Chain A
Amino acid sequence: MTDHSKLEKYEDNWQTSMGGWFPGEKVLLRGKNVFTELNQKSWMEYLLFAVTGRESEKIARLMEGMWVICTSFPDPRIWNNRVSALAGTARSTGALAAAASVAVTEATIFGLKPIKGATDFFYRLGDCIEQGQSLESVVRSELKQHRSVFGYGRPLINEDERIAPMMDFARSIGCGNGRYIKLAYEVENFFIHSRLKYRMNIAAVCAALLADEGLTPSDFYHMATLAFTAGAMPCFIDAESQPEGALFPLRVSRIHFVGDRQTRQWRN
């Protein structure tokens, strides 16, 4: 143990190359002046630069296509959207609805965990194949260890209707022919011919497309964090504009008690 806290040297001393606000003068992001060097960027290009430090109209456009096509279904039955819809029906605020929906989007069966996990999987798969392992053995090992492979299989429905339009969009801007997207389809082919019959879902497609553009799992995760809000917000607005409490009300008999029905008396 030390005699002094390691924190002392950080006291009132935060040094960063990420950027900051110079009051009354300028704003810097990763060394660039926001008002004079980044002012012509689209918001998605700005976000890409903020998250990764990369300037690429193509990647920003690809990401924007993913946001539109893949992430924002305005359906209040989808769990993250339902949170916003519940906020609307309970007359909470739009920002609180969005904050809760974004947080809930960090889910296992959809959203951000599969996005990060699928990107991580494709990079590991690519490395293992380079080292001489077969695709089949890597996938089997992943299944054995985790009982799932991020990006394959889907709740409610196996086939993913987003894949075709997403791939069409990707090809229209010159993406969709890289090493990782080919691997993604090869993994799907493995699953289709296995007893699991999993189909690829959109997380695998987006992860592979972005891996082909050199984005890391964390890059994709950070870029995608807000992607789902365009689905949540209309659900909030819709519920807010309808009568209070009208969203999928639950009558008492919808509670299915599965515990011991014996009534007990509290004893202090």
Chain B
Amino acid sequence: MSPAISETISTKIWDESAEPDNPFAAASCYCSGFDVYGDLLKNASYIDYLYLLFKLEPPNKKQSMLLEGLAIALANLGPRNHAVRAAMNAGVGGSTHASALIAAISVGAGNLGGAREVFYGVQYWEACGCEIKIWRDLIANPPQQARLDVWLPMEHTPGFDPNGVSCPTPVIQTLEHLADIGAAKHLKWLLDNRTALESAVGYPLAFSGVAAAAFYDLELQPEQAEMLFMLLRLPGAAVHALEQEKLGWRKYPFFSKGFKVTE
């Protein structure tokens, strides 16, 4: 390195050594002490490596099962999901494939069923734990923004669906499965107290609420949970965008008769 160059990237996650013939190519890469291409590649599952990247420690068996279950539940929320719809709009117009994922992330980042909701959801767990009285107080008196932010204030209790009627079966199935794994104190408590919380909120639990509890059981920070929630939902967005790209805009809703301009 030239002596004049002193700026570096500090990281606890990643270490590299250089190839002898090229200082710009890595000969070995270590993630939190594990040889990525000499060891993890052969011995770790993708889910375990994902956990390691975020936590810098390998998961135990139950943590691994919990993250894997959550990843399967979130991988595709179906073509009616806002984020997946965003991706499909890129698909039908023949936009770049990257734009489909950007669209899915942008739309799936928000306060309604999105990653920001999960961020707040984990904060609710941090504040309330397994105390129903504290949950009820927070639901009745949600935190207020002291100054304006680029994010709009929450318009509903995070983790619950303000447009829901009763808790959808897939949400309950996911909650039951994840709570049953055994590493999930808060998911178990959520399963036992779901209807009490729903009564206090006035509308049912959503996938975002199950995800927030799962991330909290995995001891992830709110911002880590926000990132992972975006990441884990991308497969569905990708495949639905690709499918609609093939089918084209003529076979995709334009809402021709559903749009009315009131002058």
> Measuring CB to CB, which residues of chain A are less than 8 angstroms from any residue of chain B?
1-7, 11-20, 22, 28, 31, 92-93, 95-96, 99-100, 103, 106, 112-113, 116-117, 119-121, 124, 142, 145-146, 150, 217, 221, 249-268
Contacts and interface: CB of A to CB of B under 8 A. Distances in A.
B253 to A, nearest CB: 9
A191 to B, nearest CB: 18
A257 B15 contact: yes
A155 to B, nearest CB: 15
B24 A249 contact: yes
Band of interface residues on B: 35 or more
Contact of A253 (B18, B198, B261, B263): B18
Contacts of A14: 255, 258-260
B9 interface: yes
Contacts of A119: 148
Given A96-B98, A251-B23, A259-B56, A20 B14 contact: no
Nearest to B2: A251
Interface stretch (B70-78, B160-168, B170-178): B160-168
A100 to B, nearest CB: 8
Given A5-B165, A260-B33, A255 B150 contact: no
Contacts of B164: 1, 5
Nearest to B41: A266
A9 to B, nearest CB: 11
B258 A252 contact: no
B162 to A, nearest CB: 8
Given A14-B260, A93-B96, A260-B33, A3 B12 contact: no
30 contacts: A1-B164, A1-B198, A1-B203, A3-B165, A7-B163, A12-B255, A14-B258, A14-B260, A19-B261, A22-B261, A28-B261, A31-B263, A93-B98, A96-B99, A142-B147, A145-B146, A146-B147, A251-B18, A252-B16, A253-B1, A254-B7, A255-B11, A256-B9, A256-B10, A257-B12, A259-B11, A259-B15, A259-B33, A259-B56, A268-B44
Contacts, number: 151
B149 interface: yes
Nearest to B95: A95
What are the 10 A-B residue pairs with the smallest beta carbon separation, nearest first? Answer: A12-B258, A259-B12, A257-B15, A252-B18, A120-B148, A256-B8, A264-B33, A251-B23, A266-B43, A20-B261
Interface in B152-191: 162-166
A255 B147 contact: no
Contacts of A106: 150
A266 B39 contact: yes
Contacts of B26: 252
A194 to B, nearest CB: 20
